[in-house]
Amino acid sequence: MLKALFAVLVAVPAIALVVARSLDLPLPAEVGIVLMAIAPGAPIALQRSLDAGGERSFAPGLQVTVALLAALSMPASIALLDRLYDATASASPWHIVRQVAVVQLLPLALGVATARLLRASRHG
């Protein structure tokens, strides 16, 4: 789990920053790429990781862990980017928690609940 978290929270954003800066992109495009890299993984990434042969028991745990850590990782990453870009952006941890809950955790929970209900109705 620690290796995966390092990859998602540190390595991918660092690579995105290096690549975006090396491409001599307009500043808004460069910043956009880096912001996408620091954002918690999209819910579709869970299914893609499973389709690619990811461990069925590990992928959902990683998705939830990254989503929960976003309240800490996003503000910290944005603070670092502020220094790098000499900017004044900020991110409220509570705003991020609300967003992650609605966009990632709620759909994931509904999917799990639906799967369990369907499984129970087949066996019941």
Phi, psi angle pair for 118, to nearest 5°? -65, -40
Which of 20-24, 59-63, 99-103 is the least confident region? 59-63
Name the average pLDDT for the chain: 86
d(CA 119, CA 113): 10
d(CA 1, CA 19): 26
Residue 62: per-residue pLDDT = 82
Ramachandran bin of 118, using left for φ above 0, alpha for ψ from -120 to 50, beta for the remaining angles: alpha
Residue 124: per-residue pLDDT = 63
pLDDT tens string 66-108: 888 888 999 999 999 999 998 888 889 999 999 888 988 898 8
pLDDT at 8 over 80: yes
Residue 45: per-residue pLDDT = 63
Residue 46: per-residue pLDDT = 62
Place of tokens 């491409």: 23
Please tell me the pTM assigned to this model: 0.72
From the number of C-beta atoms within 10 Å of its C-beta (0-12, 13-18, 19+), residue 40 rates as buried
